[in-house]
Structure 1
Amino acid sequence: MSRCTARSFFTMSGIPSPTWYVDFFTELPNEFWRRAVPAVVTAEEVDLVERRLGLAPGSRVLDVPCGSGRHSLELARRGHRVTGVDLSAEAVGHARRAAAGLDVEFVHADMRDVPRDGGFDAAVCLGNSFGYLELDGLREFVAALGGAVRPGGGLVVDLASAAESILPGYRAEPRTLRTGDITVLATGEYDVAGSRVLSRYRFTRGEEELDVTAIHHVYTVAQVVDLLAGNGFTDVGLFGGPAGEPCGIGSGRLLLTARRTS
């Protein structure tokens, strides 16, 4: 069996590197997630974006990080002008190939390196990537979003690692996931001192095997709202899913909408 152990994801002490996301999203993990999310789920999430933000036809939308472009492509199919930004060269390449004939641009860059010209009608950060960064990095990212979105524009954030969602009844049980010929063994550990979840994955496809670790930093809803308010985002709505159900203790995810008012 061909085996790749991602040693670069760890410091000398065995703790995952804070910049784990730089090398995590290679072809095998990306292909798994491309297969794992049904098209109907993407459509429901984009429905929420359009409905809650009141997007007019042809709105300019920033999707960051965009991954393989599932939300960017759906937004573009609905007539919006989309810019997707992601640090994974493999994901951006896949998105560009899938975007033929659509008004969408994909940029290979860090999620904090977005245009801060106030030219976007809306920004979306979907797919549970809002918790990738430590607090200082998250502050920088939210400041970038505040610079990118025009006054009156909107924002949607998807966060599955909100403290109110993840901590009640937290259990780190191993899971086995399959999509076609890709199998994933997933295990989790809550790092109390770091207020973060360490998610370890073993991806297997035929003779390929890849061991990688992701970090999701845990923030309270109040922390997130405060960060957004400090960068001009108010009129916050909190939802537990794309249908608009309320977000409460133990909700599996937090979908937050906001409006840039200053």
Structure 2
Amino acid sequence: MSVSPTWYEDFFTELPNAFWRQAIPAEAAAAEVSFAEQQLGLTPGAHVLDLPCGSGRHSLTLARRGYRVTGFDISPEAIAYAVRSAAGLEVDLSVADVREIPSELRVDAAVVLGNSFGYFELPGMQAFAATLANAVRPGGGVLLDINTAAESLLPGYQPGSRRIEAGDVSMEGSTEYDVRTSRLLSHYRFTRGGEAVERTAAHHVYTTAQYVELLEEAGFSALELHGDLTGKPYAVGDSRLLMTARR
């Protein structure tokens, strides 16, 4: 089916965002931030870029642990929610495309969590990687969280469907793999009372070698591939690829 290559521009409105805010427990963000601290050698006071930051679950967790945080997201609703939630914390959150953040920004580390490093076709991915490399100071680190690497998704892939209740929002979802474009298409219907929103997300499916090449071409090195938050080496069939690298 035809899905806009810029689907992410209008996907993240209030109802889908409300679902994800209620569906993902706070403990998940805490564990992911702890992994970033360990793997990137972060210490409180460091300046961390959260890209895209969504509704702020990682940004706020980092700020509560004593980090300076800058975050950008394309969703005005998500940023407004995160700003309201950040009262008293040292965070700077703004609306922007992840490829178009201020060029003068310099940080000690960057995190790209929540499976958001596969939204773009290859030129967009190259621009995203270049943005990260420009923002992270020499010696700093980056952490990428990817659920749709080819080695994770394709072994034994079967289309699926599910229904999840999260607080006052329900989600019915199904997936299909578009072999012509190498994209995972995820179809959603979010409902709350009399409200209903239908959206389709498209994740480009790249191999691990392509992800490695993207980072290395952007100027990163010392890449490590992990299969979960314990830090185990990534292997074919692992549901998650966690990549770390140094600038």
Quickly name the TM-score band, shorter chain normalised: over 0.9
Distance in 1, matches of 2:102 and 2:112, equals 15
Distance in 2, matches of 1:28 and 1:109, equals 20
**Structure 2 equivalent of residue 3 of structure 1:** none
TM-score by length of 1: 0.92
Per-residue CA deviation, residues 97-149 of structure 1 (Å, 9 max, x unaligned), is 00001000001110111233362100110000001111111111101111000
Write the letter of the residue equivalent to 1:17. S
Q: Which runs of 5+ in 2 are unaligned?
A: none
Write the letter of the residue equivalent to 1:109. A
Deviation at 1:231, TM superposition (A): 1.2
Distance in 2, matches of 1:184 and 1:245, equals 32
Distance in 1, matches of 2:228 and 2:25, equals 15
Distance in 2, matches of 1:19 and 1:150, equals 29
**Structure 1 equivalent of residue 46 of structure 2:** 59
Is 1:226 aligned to 2:213, yes or no?
yes
Distance in 2, matches of 1:180 and 1:91, equals 18
Deviation at 1:243, TM superposition (A): 2.0
SS at match of 1:229: helix
Write the letter of the residue equivalent to 1:132. Y
Matches within 5 A, 1:53-202: 53-117=40-104, 119-202=106-189
Distance in 2, matches of 1:159 and 1:34, equals 19
Identity, % of aligned positions: 57
Deviation at 1:241, TM superposition (A): 1.5
Write the letter of the residue equivalent to 1:215. A
Is 1:243 aligned to 2:230, yes or no?
yes
Distance in 1, matches of 2:103 and 2:212, equals 21
Distance in 2, matches of 1:216 and 1:34, equals 20
Per the alignment, do residues 57 and 181 of structure 1 end up closer, same or farther by CA in structure 2, a change over 3 Å counting? closer
Write the letter of the residue equivalent to 1:231. A
Distance in 1, matches of 2:245 and 2:13, equals 32
Write the letter of the residue equivalent to 1:97. R
**Structure 2 equivalent of residue 21 of structure 1:** 8
Distance in 1, matches of 2:24 and 2:70, equals 21
**Of 15, 21, 37, which residue of structure 2 is paired with 1:34?**
21
TM-score by length of 2: 0.98
Distance in 1, matches of 2:103 and 2:168, equals 42
Per-residue CA deviation, residues 82-108 of structure 1 (Å, 9 max, x unaligned), is 001000000000000000010000011
CA-based RMSD of the aligned residues comes to: 1.0
SS at match of 2:218: coil
Distance in 1, matches of 2:195 and 2:238, equals 35
| 1:63–1:85 CA contact under 8 A, matched in 2 | yes
Paired residues, number = 247
| 1:200–1:212 CA contact under 8 A, matched in 2 | yes
| 2:23–2:167 CA contact under 8 A, matched in 1 | no
**Structure 2 equivalent of residue 209 of structure 1:** 196
Distance in 2, matches of 1:153 and 1:118, equals 13
Q: Which runs of 5+ in 1 are unaligned?
A: 1-13
